[in-house]
């Protein structure tokens, strides 16, 4: 009997070609479009309107001769993703809705709907691969980066579990983007030349301040510029008694106060800004642009530094609390006091960097070989060995 696959058709070229490849491989394919958002007032609608996308997805399904329907997940999306975003920004953290959307919506809510439709698997147009191995009589699934290193999207799936991976397929993970476009062109699919969508998972490009202002009130505060030669950065490195002390020292953020710099401008809410941000500060008169080096949402202050090599932007160690550590490969989980050499990244598109994981009683330290720019609370750090993503965590 044919195995059934439900694919999330997003109205983009990647999922269109993924659906075609599944059909070629002999699966019984059903296309579902996820409608996750109703409010067009905060989206830059000509960039990525869901209506146009669902229409393109329907045309692709028609062309490929597969059944198609739209599922409205906007309630669950609001509950699990949008509210989470508001909470995080309110606390002065910067969330990653795309990672959450995969864990909570595509590979949970959507997957349940697919399984109710009798699906054996759920497929998406992600540039990543899946493999499996036997370990102590059990099947272990591996999440591997996509062949196209420029498009590798394994990072966005860094929170998936073994249970979710068992039911997932990633048909285009072995292809380069140019090959995907070529297949779409040869099939004359409406999505062949369509630009890749940017912005929030299945919402489109969002005007972030307007989006956040739905819940987070504007509140005037000051922008402070911290000089690069501030004494704050001349920390004396003590002699450490153990690895825990060392890791705790290097993972500590700099603690700024108003007296550490000069007030250079005003802003409309520290909770709208994130570390490493340059746009939106609207401060002139500096040789190099200003970057956000920290925000204080309690006092409503934004701390900035001039130039992208400002010392306030850099740290080499970060911490993930126990509750926020996730192992895609639970069999490799570290015990207290154990270490592991890995490659890691703290944002999508970043090159993998050499690092050491160290497990303490209260969480996991990721100690990079080189200093990292704008380590941001609320974002995800993901760690790999070779091309396999082993786990991830929320930076605290």
Q: What residues does each domain of the chain span?
A: 4-213, 314-394
What does CATH list as the number for 4-213? Answer: 3.40.50.620
CA distance 161 to 21: 25
Residue 312 has which token pair?
Answer: 């306030």
* Residue 361 pLDDT exceeds 60: yes
* Residue 202 pLDDT exceeds 60: no
Q: Kindly indicate the confidence band of residue 44, based on its pLDDT and cuts at 50, 70 and 90.
A: very low
What does CATH list as the number for 314-394? Answer: 2.40.30.10
- Do residues 96 and 199 make contact, with C-beta atoms less than 8 angstroms apart? no
Phi and psi, residue 79, nearest 5°: -65, -45
Q: What mean pLDDT do residues 134-141 have?
A: 94
CA distance 111 to 167: 8
Percent over 70 (pLDDT), the chain? 94
Would residue 101 show up in a list of annotated catalytic residues for this protein? yes
CA distance 267 to 282: 9
CA distance 118 to 121: 9
- Do residues 292 and 276 make contact, with C-beta atoms less than 8 angstroms apart? yes
Q: Which residues contact 82 (CB under 8 A, 6 or more apart)?
A: none
Mean pLDDT score of the chain: 92
Least confident of 38-42, 241-245, 272-276, 350-354: 38-42
Least confident of 102-111, 127-136, 195-204, 216-225: 195-204
What is the number of H-type helices and E-type strands within the chain? Answer: 10, 18
- Ranges of beta strands (E only) in 43-137 are 68-72, 121-123, 128-135
Q: Report strand pairing: 28-35 vs 301-306.
A: unpaired
Least confident of 37-41, 206-210, 216-220, 251-255: 37-41
Phi and psi, residue 120, nearest 5°: -90, -30
Q: What mean pLDDT do residues 383-393 have?
A: 98
Q: What is the pLDDT of residue 196?
A: 82
* DSSP symbol at 195: P
* Residue 318 pLDDT exceeds 70: yes
- Do residues 199 and 47 make contact, with C-beta atoms less than 8 angstroms apart? yes
The pTM of the whole model exceeds 0.75: yes
Q: Please give the residue that has the higher pLDDT: either 160 or 212.
A: 160
Token pair 């991976």 in the structure block, residue: 165
Sheet of 168-169: strand order equals 68-72, 28-35, 4-8, 121-123, 168-169
* Residue 78 pLDDT exceeds 70: yes
Query: Taking the CB of residue 360, how many other CB atoms lie within 10 A of it?
Result: 17
Helix (H) or strand (E) holding 222: strand 221-225
Q: Please give the residue that has the higher pLDDT: either 5 or 85.
A: 5
Phi and psi, residue 7, nearest 5°: -110, 140
Q: Kindly indicate the confidence band of residue 45, based on its pLDDT and cuts at 50, 70 and 90.
A: very low
CA distance 7 to 30: 6
Name the catalytic one among 48, 128, 158, 201.
201
């Amino acid at each position: 009997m044919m195995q059934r696959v439900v694919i999330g058709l997003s109205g983009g070229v990647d999922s269109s070609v993924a659906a075609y490849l599944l059909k070629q491989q002999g699966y019984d394919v059903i296309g579902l479009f996820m409608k996750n958002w109703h409010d067009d007032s905060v989206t830059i609608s000509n960039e990525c309107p869901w209506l146009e996308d669902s229409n393109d997805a329907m045309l692709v399904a028609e062309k490929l001769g597969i059944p198609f329907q739209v599922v409205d997940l906007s309630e669950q999306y609001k509950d699990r993703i949008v509210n989470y975003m508001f909470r995080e920004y309110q606390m002065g953290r910067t969330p990653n809705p795309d990672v959450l959307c995969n864990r909570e919506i595509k590979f949970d809510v959507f997957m349940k709907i697919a399984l109710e439709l009798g699906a054996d698997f759920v497929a998406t147009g992600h540039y990543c691969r899946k493999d499996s191995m036997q370990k102590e009589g059990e099947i272990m699934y591996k999440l591997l980066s996509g062949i196209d290193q420029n498009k590798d999207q394994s990072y966005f799936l860094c929170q998936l579990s073994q249970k979710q991976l068992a039911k997932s397929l990633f048909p285009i993970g072995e292809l380069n983007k140019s090959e995907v476009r070529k297949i779409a062109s040869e099939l004359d699919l409406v999505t062949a030349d369509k630009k890749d969508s940017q912005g929030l998972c299945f919402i489109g490009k969002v005007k972030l301040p307007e989006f956040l202002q739905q819940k987070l009130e504007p509140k005037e505060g000051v922008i402070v510029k911290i000089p690069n030669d501030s004494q704050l950065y001349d920390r004396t490195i003590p002699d450490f008694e153990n690895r825990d002390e060392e890791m705790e020292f290097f993972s500590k953020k700099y603690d700024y106060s108003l007296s550490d710099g000069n007030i250079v401008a005003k802003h409309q809410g520290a909770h709208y800004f994130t570390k490493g941000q340059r746009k939106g500060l609207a401060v002139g008169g500096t040789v190099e642009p200003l970057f956000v080096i920290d925000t204080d949402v309690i006092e409503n202050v934004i701390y900035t530094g001039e130039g992208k090599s400002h010392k306030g932007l850099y740290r080499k160690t970060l911490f993930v609390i126990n509750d926020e550590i996730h192992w895609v490969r639970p069999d490799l989980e570290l015990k207290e006091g154990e270490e592991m050499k890995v490659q890691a990244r703290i944002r999508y598109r970043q090159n993998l960097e050499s690092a050491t994981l160290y497990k303490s009683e209260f969480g996991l330290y990721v100690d990079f070989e080189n200093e990292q720019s704008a380590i941001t609370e609320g974002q995800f750090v993901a760690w790999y060995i070779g091309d396999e993503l082993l786990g991830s965590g929320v930076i605290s």
